[in-house]
Amino acid sequence: MALPLGIFLGGSVTAIPVVTGVAEGVSHQKKQNEEAANQTRMIKFNMLISCDSDDELADEVDNGILVLRHDKAWIVPRDKTNKPIPPVQNIQPPLHAFAGFYIQYPDDNRNPPERGLVSTISDDPPMLNWIYIDRRTFEAKYGNRTASIEHIVGEWDWTEDESGVILDGWEGFVAVDEGDGEGTAWGAEGLRWALYFDANDDGLKGKRKKGQKMFEVVLERRLQSEEEQLKQMQEAEKKMQVKSAGDLKTQFTAPAAERKRNVWGRKD
Ligand SMILES: *[C@@H]1O[C@H](CO)[C@@H](O)[C@H](O)[C@H]1NC(C)=O
Ligand SMILES: *[C@@H]1O[C@H](CO)[C@@H](O)[C@H](O)[C@H]1NC(C)=O
């Protein structure tokens, strides 16, 4: 009997058979479960933020949502439909909420391989970046492989009930006040609360200015509905078709060459 494994094929994941022969026993079932886990690892989610602190400033991060901007991850309030509420009007481009999933980080020098985390950084074009923690500053950032490879890129995981995000085995995430109190941390955009990872579990000792506010936060996974995912995939596919059609035109000079040959042929 062939092993019914889920295979990642051209962007779509095949269904995982649930039934397994009794004789094949536990180890096959285990393999299947691992594969199933891999599939669920690729379900896209947003990150909702909660914060337990009694400090009144903590209200600015509690019930927030993670957004990606200026190469960093920020916490802003969210509305009832879980969309980010920009700190100021008419932010351009609009704030982009983290929307990502787990996938192995491609680096032969990481042994065993580490599970990374990717997110779209814009919808148009639909681009994915790695989410990583800067080794020097412990800020949460995003970037391509070149930008991230020297930093902490994993192991990203979820909590036992799969509801929360963890890194390196624990939920060491904190929001750090990078505002000046007037809400002008990043020009006129009003971004204030940056996400950090307390990698040494010492309250970001040496990484944070004296008196700079910091709150422990929980990153809650909010799974996107199948409908949302399908819509996004279709949109991405449409865009890719347009793109590759454009590329074909510029790359393939063969038809023109053939035309020339035909012309020559006729002339001869
Ligand atoms: C995911 O799949 C890969 C390749 O089949 C496998 O090596 C890895 O152990 C799986 N990971 C999980 C968490 O199931
Ligand atoms: C990766 O990101 C860096 C900036 O962090 C940029 O300079 C570089 O061009 C990017 N590489 C690719 C292949 O896009």
Residues 102-125 have pLDDT tens digits of 999 999 999 888 999 999 999 888
Distance in angstroms (rounded) separating the CA atoms of residues 55 and 217:
13
| Closest atom, ligand 1, to C-alpha of 36 | 14
Nearest bound ligand to the CA of residue 157: 1
pLDDT at 185 over 80: no
**Ligand 1 lined by 38 (C-beta under 6 Å):** yes
Radius of gyration, CA atoms only, the chain: 23
pLDDT at 234 over 50: yes
Centre of ligand 1 to C-alpha 106, Å, is 13
Bridge partner residues of 152 (DSSP): 133
**Ligand 1 lined by 148 (C-beta under 6 Å):** no
The burial of 188, by beta-carbon neighbours within 10 Å (0-12 exposed, 13-18 middle, 19 or more buried), is given as exposed
The helix (H) or strand (E) run that includes residue 254 is helix 254-267
3-state SS, one letter per residue, for 77-114: EECCCCCECCCCCCCCCCCEECCEEEEECCCCCCCCCC
Distance in angstroms (rounded) separating the CA atoms of residues 103 and 117:
6
- Note whether 222 and 49 are within 8 A (CB): no
What are the tens digits of pLDDT across the range 20-73? 334 444 555 555 556 555 778 889 999 999 999 999 999 999 999 999 999 999
The burial of 165, by beta-carbon neighbours within 10 Å (0-12 exposed, 13-18 middle, 19 or more buried), is given as buried
Centre of ligand 1 to C-alpha 16, Å, is 14
**Ligand 2 lined by 146 (C-beta under 6 Å):** yes
| Closest atom, ligand 1, to C-alpha of 34 | 14
Provide the CB-side half-sphere exposure for 133 (13 A, CA): 21
- Output the pLDDT for position 126: 79
**Ligand 1 lined by 7 (C-beta under 6 Å):** no
**Which of 36-45, 52-61, 144-153, 170-179 is least confident?**
36-45
| CA dist 5 → 21, 26, 38 (Å) | 14, 15, 11
**Ligand 1 lined by 37 (C-beta under 6 Å):** yes
Indicate the pTM of the whole model: 0.74
